[in-house]
Amino acid sequence: MILEIYRTPEESGARAAARIADKLREAISLRGEARLLLSTGASQFKMFDSLCTLDIDWSRVVMFHLDEYVALSGDHIASFRRYLRERFESKLPMPLKSAHYVDGEGDIAANIERLTSLFCAAPIDVGAIGIGENGHIAFNDPPADFETDKTYITVKLDDRCKAQQVREGWFDSIAEVPAQAVSMTVRAIMSCRSLVSVVPGAVKADAVRKTLGGAVAPDIPAAILKRHADWALYLDFASAAGFFNDSGI
């Protein structure tokens, strides 16, 4: 595990982006293409701002992402498909080799089957995995399913997860947040060759404290990232405060 702490979200985001870029370049050099898995949300803004400016042959990058709400239009402000098109794809200097989006509309079972086939065709080289305020990774809210061998599943969102979406401005009220989402599973996330997490802000301090200081258990989904052989975690002073204060550091 690599743990780095920076003063600001801009610094931690830039360092996370630099590591993602290094992993993409390495994969392109070794295999001719790189496979990238992305998370979304307000915590990833600074990372994306930096990543899109780095020298990468994006025409050799295949993109996947973690999750999407069920029955939410891809044009909705909260749609993760829209988020990635606006904050990532549209800012790149060249088109991606391909982009495979999670679609929570229409025939969800068929959508999951198609996406699973594409995902399982080869390992993901680097996954950018955020950590939610409730400790979730993707939409695997606690208690997360650590055992399923599926790649994507339909999950029910808990109230704390919904409240985070409202606080970040994606919805006006908890009642507007969809009850379900399609989410990549914990096992699928852990199958990535490398994982990079940027987790800024005081609102994430409790999740960071539990992730780093707690046992690996379904009640703290992000804690399982500690078992990955190549996980890098980037914090800022605010998000690191809870763990290091409690640890006397």
The whole-chain average pLDDT of the chain stands at 96
Supply the pLDDT for residue 246: 59
The predicted model scores a pTM of: 0.95
pLDDT tens for 168-201 read 999 999 999 999 999 999 999 999 999 999 999 9
Does residue 245 carry a pLDDT above 70?
no
CB count within 10 Å of CB 94 equals: 11
In the chain, what are the domains?
A: 2-133+146-200+229-237 (3.40.50.1360)
Q: Mind listing the pLDDT tens digit for each residue in 76-105?
A: 999 999 999 999 999 999 999 999 999 999
CA distances from 226 to 46, 181, 190, 210, 233 (A): 24, 25, 10, 12, 10
Q: Which three-class secondary structure string do you get for the chain?
A: CEEEEECCHHHHHHHHHHHHHHHHHHHHHHHCCEEEEECCCHHHHHHHHHHCCCCCCHHHEEEEECEEECCCCCCCCCCHHHHHHHHCHHHCCCCCCEEECCCCCCCHHHHHHHHHHHHCCCCCCEEECCCCCCCCECCECCCCCCCCCCCEEEEECCHHHHHHHHHCCCCCCHHHCCCEEEEECHHHHHCCCEEEEEECCHHHHHHHHHHHHCCCECCEHHHHHHHCCCEEEEEEHHHHHHHHHHCCC
pLDDT at 248 over 50: no
Rounded Cα distance, 156 and 232, in Å: 28
pLDDT tens digit sequence for 5-32: 999 999 999 999 999 999 999 999 999 9
> What pLDDT is attached to residue 242?
76
